[in-house]
Structure 1
Amino acid sequence: MSYGTIQVKRALNNITHSPETQKRECLFLFSLAGIQFTHILDFMIMMPLGPEFIRVLNINTHQFGLLLSSYTFAAAAAGIFATYYVDRFERRQLLLSLYVIFIIATLACGLAQNYETLFIARAFAGAFGGILGSLVQTIVADSIPFERRGKALGTVMAAFSVSTVAGVPLSLFLAHHISYLGWRAPFIFIGAISTLVFYVGYLHIPKIAGHLDHVHEGSRLSQILKIMIAPQHIKAFIFMGLIMMTGFSVIPYIAVYLTTNVGINNSYISLIYLCGGVATLMSSRLIGHLADRYGKVKVFRVLAIISLVPLLVTTNLPVTPLWIVLLNSTTFFILISGRMIPAMAMVSQVVESKIRGTFMSLIGSVQMLASGIASVVAGMVVTINADGMMQHYNLVGYGAAVCGLLTFWLVGYIHADAKKHLEKT
């Protein structure tokens, strides 16, 4: 397809994007963002509650890392399993059905009686939450043109920001102030909010079945293997895995490190997440807009490099005043989450729509697997001494920085593959 043809398509897209269509699209994206909000909150709430889980359940950092990874490893396995059916069902029906099971699994976490039962319940929640994340991104890629996809993904991925702005502080408040529930309160809260989001999604998410018109040749296993071993897909898998390892080797242990080594009172952890969430909520749509305007690869590379500064500061902080911690942690959240917006816009474009659901499920599995590996390995590296101080967190930071530098190099190949596919469509 010539450059002129692409420009004509963009112009026609802008003309037909009427106010009524914009309203429907906003409600549609709001519904998807609500689903993203709840399953991200369900995953994130474990991290700021780390000190409480270690104290109440009488576990160490390695066991806490395993508790986190039960969610991510289950999500990775479920994502691989989902490749068998995700492109063979209508998107809306599949999304809402999986969401109901996710709600049940999250409520089961709130009813867990000990470490072992919580571990199992987290695995079930992760299995369905992980599929939801990749399915939401697939639906956005299926429904929103590439020219506006950065901004649309910025809207949906603002759910991460909302979860830290409102969800995490409120969940921590409930955990600390409802004494008879304790750490169970956030999970019950998430289950209740998810029920409301399900109703909104039922009303505003339309039927999406265009991918069903394509004929799939050969056995399902051969189709999946073909998708997995395609060179451009392998590059995308490695790229997304490194992005996740950059952030999630560091993020799970921030709360523990700040309370044990930096001298921050546990009551201020919710404030740290609140400030980071407010900032990323304001920045996510801006980053999406900048990615659409100036180029997704350029914006990603800028974010990838400057994000290493607060990352290395976070993992090497001595005893520090609260205002410096807030400034650094807020910058960290903005940049680490911001990388995902241009990255997902490019990755979603390296495949055609008929296999996008399968591909994005595999991407989701890679993300969760990389997150789980990162948290487990980091949990093995860091230790808590007899005096309660965490050791070797700086080594985790150096490893994360290496992963971040590799994404800076690899993104050029991802961009080239996305551009090549866009020119064909």
Structure 2
Amino acid sequence: MASWKRRPPTSESAARRRAAITVPLLASIAFANALGAVMFFPLGPFLARDLGVPVEDTALTTTSYTIAAGIGGLVGALLLGGVSRRVAVLGSLCGLGVFALATGLAPNFPLLLLARVCAGAFAGPLMAAVVTSIAEAVPEERRNRAVSSVTGAYGLALVVGLPLALVLSASAGGWRTPILAVGVLYLLLLWPVWHLLGQRPGEPPPPPRPKVTVSGLLRLLGRGESITGLALIGAASFATLLVSPHIAAYALGNVGISEEGLRLIYVIGGALAVVTTRATGTLMDRVGVLPASLTVGCVLTAVLVAAFALPGPLWLVTVLLGTVLAVQLARSTVAQGSATRVALPAERMTYQCLVAATTSLGQGLGAAASTLVLRERPDGGVDHIGWMVGASIALAWLAPLLVMLLHRQLARREAG
């Protein structure tokens, strides 16, 4: 006689249910983190007018944030490897929330910049903790699709964050309101993190995590697969910031797209990014990282050439420039997904902190390199954009070579 009692869940089904709760929560944190970064893009003129600084100085809010995130990643590599994932996420999220509120309440530009630096120092370790938690919650055969939710969060933040920042600043108290709103959002996320990322009843406690030392960190950095994974991350981050920051100037000055068309570019790019990152992660899980990397290289090459080298009507160029933003994030999905395979379980948090630092460093170097090559024209457009596009395409085809090298290094490690 069959029992009417419900069977206890298997370990696999329990893991699936937990991942179904954990991954959306972590993706929400990634979205909130991205929202806090992109929200500053349209607020510069309002901030400058209110605090009495030149509008070009407001770019320091993004530059300093990125640099601080890189430094925070390096510090986190030493401090967070031996703590629980819940503590790492909670601590980073709390610090980010407190200093986001301090940014919104700053009475002058120097204090705002200081608060922004402190917020960035927590943002780097936060993303490392988020990706590490996803990697541990999802089996390897579905991991890339889960990681794509983190990179896709940036695209969603572009769609939601830029209009939201402008609406809130115009109707609800000025530029401080959207910054304070994001700070409150960070702190509100603390409660679900506390309840959902902890140990569940009946689960065995996680194994103790050894404290990370400088010598251990150097040994991790000295392994071939570690260097290759970081090179993949750095190249993707560098290449993305060669082109993306200058799309607005190119669209307005070189092509003649209106300001309404410019907003449409970012809406298209953000909306497509949610799709392309998800599709890239799914492709990596189903057919492998190398085919996905080759596909992204082909698509990225075609889109960059069509957007910047071929003539076309304004509506088509608008769509193509938005697609450039989306496919750049697909490139990052390949790099981030590959990086989750590099570290051994005990080293994941430490290595992901190094990934966060490399991402910030690569972005900063890419932005700096582009400003050295590009020249602004009197009409507001830019010259020499073709050099940046060519370099971005070349780095897109470096990625499959690094992916093949990483695969061989990991295979040798498993065999040995």
| TM-score normalized with structure 1 length | 0.84
Q: 1:347 aligned to 2:339?
A: yes
**2:208 alignment partner, one of 193, 213, 228:** 213
- TM-aligned CA deviation for residue 232 of structure 1: 1.6
Separation in structure 2 between the aligned mates of residue 49 and residue 315 of structure 1, nearest angstrom: 28
- TM-aligned CA deviation for residue 15 of structure 1: 7.2
- TM-aligned CA deviation for residue 394 of structure 1: 3.2
- TM-aligned CA deviation for residue 138 of structure 1: 1.1
Separation in structure 2 between the aligned mates of residue 71 and residue 267 of structure 1, nearest angstrom: 28
Q: Which residue of 1 is the match for residue 6 of structure 2?
A: none
Q: 1:277 aligned to 2:273?
A: no
Q: 1:111 aligned to 2:114?
A: no
Aligned partner letter, 1:290: L
Residue pair 1:37, 1:160 contacting (<8 A) in 2 also: yes
Q: Which residue of 2 is the match for residue 204 of structure 1?
A: 196
Q: Which residue of 1 is the match for residue 248 of structure 2?
A: 255
Aligned partner letter, 2:240: G
- TM-aligned CA deviation for residue 65 of structure 1: 5.5
Aligned partner letter, 1:310: V
Residue pair 2:82, 2:209 contacting (<8 A) in 1 also: no
In structure 2, the CA distance between the partners of 1:258 and 1:54, relative to structure 1 (3 Å rule), is farther
Separation in structure 2 between the aligned mates of residue 229 and residue 385 of structure 1, nearest angstrom: 45
Identity of matched residues, %: 26
Secondary structure at the counterpart of residue 245 of structure 1: helix
In structure 2, the CA distance between the partners of 1:276 and 1:419, relative to structure 1 (3 Å rule), is farther
**1:163 alignment partner, one of 157, 167, 173:** 157
In structure 2, the CA distance between the partners of 1:167 and 1:225, relative to structure 1 (3 Å rule), is same
Separation in structure 2 between the aligned mates of residue 131 and residue 315 of structure 1, nearest angstrom: 36
How do residues 144-159 of structure 1 correspond to structure 2 at under 5 angstroms?
A: 144-159=138-153
Deviations, residues 329-388 of structure 1 (Å, cap 9, x unaligned):
332233211223333222211221111111111111011111111112223333434443
Separation in structure 2 between the aligned mates of residue 115 and residue 74 of structure 1, nearest angstrom: 17
| TM-score normalized with structure 2 length | 0.86
Secondary structure at the counterpart of residue 81 of structure 2: helix
Q: Which residue of 1 is the match for residue 137 of structure 2?
A: 143
Q: 1:384 aligned to 2:376?
A: yes
Separation in structure 1 between the aligned mates of residue 262 and residue 41 of structure 2, nearest angstrom: 10
Secondary structure at the counterpart of residue 198 of structure 2: coil
Aligned partner letter, 2:362: A
**2:391 alignment partner, one of 390, 399, 416:** 399
Residue pair 1:49, 1:172 contacting (<8 A) in 2 also: yes
Secondary structure at the counterpart of residue 276 of structure 1: helix
- TM-aligned CA deviation for residue 99 of structure 1: 0.3
Q: Which residue of 1 is the match for residue 3 of structure 2?
A: none
- TM-aligned CA deviation for residue 96 of structure 1: 0.9
Aligned partner letter, 1:178: S
Q: 1:77 aligned to 2:71?
A: yes
Query: What is the root-mean-square deviation in Å for CA atoms of aligned residues?
Result: 3.0
Residue pair 1:249, 1:400 contacting (<8 A) in 2 also: yes
Separation in structure 1 between the aligned mates of residue 123 and residue 222 of structure 2, nearest angstrom: 25
In structure 2, the CA distance between the partners of 1:50 and 1:179, relative to structure 1 (3 Å rule), is same
Separation in structure 2 between the aligned mates of residue 262 and residue 48 of structure 1, nearest angstrom: 21
In structure 2, the CA distance between the partners of 1:97 and 1:29, relative to structure 1 (3 Å rule), is same
How many residues are aligned here?
A: 403
Q: Higher RCO, 1 or 2 (CA under 8 Å, sep at least 6)?
A: 1
Residue pair 1:69, 1:376 contacting (<8 A) in 2 also: no
Secondary structure at the counterpart of residue 83 of structure 1: helix
In structure 2, the CA distance between the partners of 1:76 and 1:109, relative to structure 1 (3 Å rule), is same
How do residues 237-256 of structure 1 correspond to structure 2 at under 5 angstroms?
A: 237-256=230-249
Structure 2 gaps, min length 5 = 1-8
Q: Which residue of 2 is the match for residue 311 of structure 1?
A: 304
Q: 1:324 aligned to 2:316?
A: yes
Separation in structure 2 between the aligned mates of residue 107 and residue 256 of structure 1, nearest angstrom: 31
Deviations, residues 23-71 of structure 1 (Å, cap 9, x unaligned):
43222111101110011122223445567778885344xx565543211
Q: 1:415 aligned to 2:411?
A: no
Structure 1 gaps, min length 5 = 1-13
Separation in structure 2 between the aligned mates of residue 202 and residue 105 of structure 1, nearest angstrom: 20
